[in-house]
Structure 1
Amino acid sequence: MQIINGRASLEEASLLIAAFGEDAVVEAATRADRFRDAGDIDLFCRWRQIERAVELLQLQDVVGELH
Structure 2
Amino acid sequence: MAKSGPAKIAQEVRQEAKKITWPTRKETFVSTGMVFVMVFLAAIFFFLIDQLLSTAVKAIFN
Q: Larger radius of gyration, structure 1 or 2? A: 2
Sort the TM-score into its range (normalised by shorter chain): 0.3 to 0.5
Structure with greater contact order relative to length (CA < 8 Å, sep ≥ 6)? 1
